[in-house]
Amino acid sequence: MSTNYKAPVDDYVFLLHDVIAPTAPHALGGMARDDTRQVLQQAAHFFEKVWAPLDGPGDEEGCHFDNGAVRTPSGYLAGYAALCEAGWNRVSVPEESGGAGLPEGIDQAVREFSASACNSLGLYAILTAGAHATVRRTGEPWMLEHVVPAMVEGRWAGTMCLTEPHCGTDLRLMKTRAVSQPDGSWRLSGTKIFISGGDQDLTENVIHLVLAKVPGEDGRIRDDLSTVRLFLVPKRVVDPDSGTLGGSNGVVVAGIEHKMGLKGSATCALSFEHALAYPLRESNQPGSTQRKSSAGMSGMFDMMNSARLVTGLQALSSASRAYGHAANYARERLAGRAAKAEDRTGGTADPIVVHPDVRRLLLKQASFLEAARALALHVTALLDEPDEALRANRNAIGSLLTPVIKAFFSDRSFESANDAMQLMGGHGYIRDNGVEQLVRDCRIFQLYEGANGVQALDLVLRKLPAGGGRALAGFLDMVDATAWEAAQREPLRAHADALRQAAQDIRACGKWLADPSRSPYDAGAASSDFLAMMGIVASAWMWLRMSDVALGLLPDAENGTFLRRKLELARFWFARELPLVPVLRQRVETGAACLMALPADQF
């Protein structure tokens, strides 16, 4: 039974050139189809051959913590060095910063390939990319000259440090402080936990982006966000004039966590002991403005929003590899006979792929994964809109869908990985065949970068009312426009009508949530179901777009198998997933009464 990883090159070429680029040409930056395929084939070969073999052994070995330092699993150091040498860690970084300057759509494909091949190892590079992007937007000139190039090359790594032992989501409760010194420098002290990549043996330095509070004139730390700032804190001292590395900077690794999954990624507790820190400036990212009380952490907000999108993609990546295992198993495993005699093979048993319930599990996985891949590309294109006349509206829609990408993707990816295990039965449950690890790895993404319940609250309490509901209206206008266009093709008319009705259900829920007479608890009670509605409808939107394109390409296609497969996956989503929307609407409109009636002491 094959468990090798196969990167979805054909899918990305189709999505980028046929689905996304016609309405968002900047997603490809003028790249020709052959060039896209060549780049992605090279990336696929690297991650399939170099990184994928490291995944299972890295999970078995895990990270080591000895004498205050972290050692990654065997093979990680060579694998990371090979990544940096080949340049796959800097695909979309601007050329002036040392990168290849390729479009973000290509970068998404490469990130998925890397995460599917070895998600634990990929985290070190992904976190570094997010960190140096933040420094490029908020750093001082000396950081752009010395810090960013070292991070882009892969000689230095990066992290983001938010969580503390006593607080996670509620950053008002942070105790880490940064104090200005008489010589104009800053010193930072405090403890941060759950820091992915907080230490490792892959790079010569680690650049920590740390949230800390600046004490008031009375020396006190206040429980609000008004004094929060983002600081750059290197593991080893960096000379701002020359970029030369010095000794330790008072960043002490207190230990590493023993985790359920992603065992090759070192999750550290860090103690900052009077560490030299450098304040970062306000972000210059379009649309990054925050409420005044938290303006000092705008750079971290940018990094967190980017990390939400990446987290959704990482979850999808683990689930995609699990699906590959399950599909191979279903084609090869023999058990029972097909219900129709004409579908039976000549042997004593048939491959289990002939059985309807096995197909249900496979179609459920594949239809989610391929719609999610398309939606992630589309949201990235919305957030990167270069046309000033369109930017504000499209950025708002992209921002609206960001918590959906993170939460819906990670919820469904964990479910998909479990479906892969279910299909494989005992062979999925044991460690030998890889799926058991992928289920464990996939679980964390529902918790990373703000747990999914927090993402749902962000959607209904902040994203929906922003701009008077303009983003939701814009999203649904896009959905309706796609439905109207697809309805011109008779084979897609029923899909288009169903999508329009589902969009109406979302509009109705949006109005219900905006009603000022609602109980203060109603938004929280409805938020997770509303986010699920958004994810299902956004995925159906992508399937309708892909179906419209596929039908248009079929008459001239040399081999229509790929396109006909898309149409069948869309058929499954509209038949089995979209009908859940009115049920979710009913749950949304039930309100909070049944959740809040039971006294707290009876739980």
pLDDT single digits (tens) 175-189: 999 999 999 999 999
432 occurs within a structural domain = yes
Answer yes or no: do 307 and 442 share one domain. yes
Pairing outcome for strands 267-279 and 251-256: antiparallel
pLDDT of residue 222: 78
In this prediction, residue 3 carries a pLDDT of 53
Two structure tokens written together for 106: 């290509």
Return d(Cα 425, Cα 83) in angstroms, integer: 35
Instruction: Determine, yes or no, domain membership for 26.
Output: no
Task: Return the closest-CA partner of residue 240 out of 295, 191, 184, 188.
Answer: 184
pLDDT in the model for residue 285: 63
β-sheet bridge partners, residue 338: none
Residue linked to tokens 């905006």 = 514
Instruction: Please check whether residue 538 is in contact with residue 530, taking contact to mean a CB–CB distance below 8 angstroms.
Output: no
- Asked if 310 and 442 sit in the same domain, the reply is yes
SS3 527: helix
Q: Count Cβ atoms below 10 Å from residue 144 Cβ, excluding itself.
A: 15
Q: Judge if 517 and 413 occupy the same domain.
A: no
Q: What is the CATH number of the domain that holds 178?
A: 2.40.110.10
Q: Are residues 505 and 538 in the same domain?
A: yes
- Closest alpha carbon to 547 in 566, 575, 524: 566
Residue 277 is inside which H or E element, if any?
strand 267-279
Domain count, the chain: 3
Is residue 38 one of the residues assigned to a domain? no
For residue 381, the domain's CATH number is 1.20.140.10
Distance, CA of 536 to CA of 530 (rounded, Å):
10
Residue 50 lies in a domain: no
Domain check: are 170 and 236 in the same one?
A: yes
Q: Which residue, among 114, 129, 91, has the nearest Cα to 318 in the 3D structure?
A: 114
Catalytic site residue 273? Answer: no
On whether residue 127 sits in a domain, the answer given is no
Residues near 459 by Cβ (< 8 Å), separated by ≥ 6?
400, 403, 404, 527, 530, 531, 534
Q: What is the rounded distance in angstroms from the CA atom of residue 367 to the CA atom of residue 371? A: 6
Q: CA nearest 149: which of 109, 191, 192, 207? A: 207
What is the longest distance spanned by two Cα atoms in the chain? 86
* Angle at CA of residue 421, ends 419 and 422, nearest 5°: 60
Same domain for 528 and 420: no
Helix (H) or strand (E) segment spanning residue 325: helix 298-332
Residue-wise pLDDT tens digits, 260-279: 999 999 999 999 999 999 99
Residues 178, 277 within the same domain: yes
Claim to verify: residue 164 and residue 279 sit in the same structural domain = yes
The reply to whether 575 and 505 lie within a common domain is: yes
104, 370, 385, 449: which one is catalytic? 449
Q: What is the mean pLDDT of each run of 10 residues along the chain (603 residues)?
A: 79 98 94 98 98 97 96 98 98 96 97 98 98 96 98 98 88 90 96 98 98 87 84 98 97 98 98 97 63 60 88 98 97 96 93 98 98 98 96 97 98 98 97 96 96 97 96 98 97 98 98 96 98 98 98 94 98 98 98 97 97
For 399-441, the three-class secondary structure string (H helix, E strand, C coil) is HHHHHHHHHHHHHHHHHHHHHHHHHHCHHHHCHHHCHHHHHHH
Residues 424 and 309 in one domain: yes
Does some domain include residue 75? no
32 part of a folded domain? no
Q: Helices 470-486 and 522-553 meet at what angle, rounded to 10?
A: 30
Query: Could you tell me if 308 and 434 lie in one domain?
Result: yes
User: Among candidates 114, 59, 116, which has minimal Cα distance to 91?
Assistant: 114
Domain that holds residue 208: 158-294
Tell me, what's the pLDDT at 292? 46
- The string over 316-332, giving b where at least 16 C-beta atoms fall within 10 Å of a residue's C-beta and e elsewhere, is bbbbbbbbbbbbbbbee
Answer with the one of 394, 421, 446 that is the final residue of a domain. 446
Beta strand residue intervals within 93-185, DSSP E:
156-161, 177-180
Domain membership flag for residue 143: no
Residue where a domain terminates, one of 261, 294, 327: 294
In the three-class reduction of DSSP (H, G, I as helix; E, B as strand; rest coil), residue 385 is classed as: coil
Quote the CA–CA distance of 173 and 521 in Å, as a whole number.
Answer: 23
**Residue 490 sits in the same domain as residue 581:** yes
